[in-house]
Amino acid sequence: MEIRKVGVIGAGQMGNGIAHVFAAAGYEVVLTDISEEQLQAAVNTIQSNLDRQVSREKISQETRDAAMSNITTTLNIADLGETDLVIEAATEREDIKVQIFASLLPHLKPETILTSNTSSISITRLASGTDRPEKFMGFHFMNPVPIMQLVELIRGIATDEETYQACLGVVENLGKTAASAEDFPAFIVNRILMPMINEAVYTLYEGVGSVASIDSSLKLGANHPMGPLELADFIGLDTCLAIMNVLHDGLADTKYRPCPLLTKYVEAGWLGRKTQRGFYDYRGETPVPTR
C-alpha cells in the first residue's frame, strides 16, 4: 500500500522528532496528544529545529515552510482514522500503550498499519491486543530523531511481509537506515546499550569511580561521544530503569538486574535532564556531578 498520511501518538521528545522527519520528507502528519500545551510545545520545537537547519543551510526556507504546513495537531485520537500508518510514541508503559491502541482501533481503516516506537516492550504482545496483528510492528527511532540515522524495525510473530516491506520503504524515504530486529526484550540497541549504562551505575554504586571519572574514562578510553552516565541523564533514568526491568523480567537472567542506585535516583524523581537533576545537576550554567 502507498503511505501518504501518518499519525503520530504522543507529542513528547520522541513524538515531535518523528513528526518532524515525516513532515520534512513530504508526508502529511497528524500529531495527537492528551495535552494541548504539549502539542503546542512540540510544534514550537519542530519549528525551532527546522529554523536551525535553514540557518545552517541544511535545508531551504521553502522546505521548512512545506514541512510545517504538513503538520496538523489534534486532541482527538479519532482524527487519526484516515491515516495510512500510525506510530505510537507515548510513554514507555505497556498498560498505557494498550489503552491507546484500544481507543484508536474503532476509527481506523482496515488497511492502516499500526506501529509502536517502544524501545523494549514485546511487539507480539502489543499486536495481539489489536484487530490486525499481521499489520503491526515495532518502528523504533533513536533520539534525537532528526539527527540519528538508525531505525529498528521489529516484526512480531504475526507481522506479514507486506507490512515489513511498507515500513522498510518508509524508512528509506526518510533517508534513514533500517536494522531488522527479532522480537526479544529491548531488541538490538537497548539490549547492548542499557546493560552498559547499568554497569556504569554499578561502578558508581560500588565506589569504583566517580561520575566524572566514569564518564571521562568511556569518552577518552573507548572514544564514546558521551559518557554512560551523561547518556543515561539524556535518555531519562526512568526510561533506563524501565528497559532494565523489561530485560530482567523477559530474560530471567541476573546480569540484567537493575542497579539499586538507579532505582534510588528514579524514586527521588531525579530522572536526568528533563527534571534538571540526575547523575548531574543541570540547574546551573554547567552540569555538576551529583556524586
As annotated, the binding site for NAD(+) includes 10-15, 33, 92, 97, 119, 143, 274
- SS3 state of residue 288: strand
Selected catalytic residue, list 117, 122, 140, 198: 140
Selected catalytic residue, list 49, 152, 198, 230: 152
Active site annotation includes 140: yes
Pairing mode, if any, of strands 85-88 and 5-9? parallel
Question: Which H helix or E strand runs over 31?
Answer: strand 28-32
Q: Name the DSSP letter for residue 80.
A: G
Active site annotation includes 57: no
As annotated, the binding site includes 10-15, 33, 92, 97, 119, 143, 274
Question: Which H helix or E strand runs over 178?
Answer: strand 177-181
HEC assignment per residue over 94-106: HHHHHHHHHHHHH
Selected catalytic residue, list 119, 120, 122, 198: 119
Active site annotation includes 213: no
What are the Cα distances from residue 161, in Å, to 187, 244, 271?
19, 30, 39
Contact 230, 280 (CB under 8 A): yes
Selected catalytic residue, list 49, 120, 190, 198: 190
Round to whole Å and give the CA distance between 64 and 238: 34
Best CA proximity match to 34, nearest among 67, 74, 68, 75: 75
Other CB atoms closer than 10 Å to residue 55's CB: what's the count?
Answer: 8
Active site annotation includes 152: yes
Known catalytic residues are: 119, 140, 152, 190
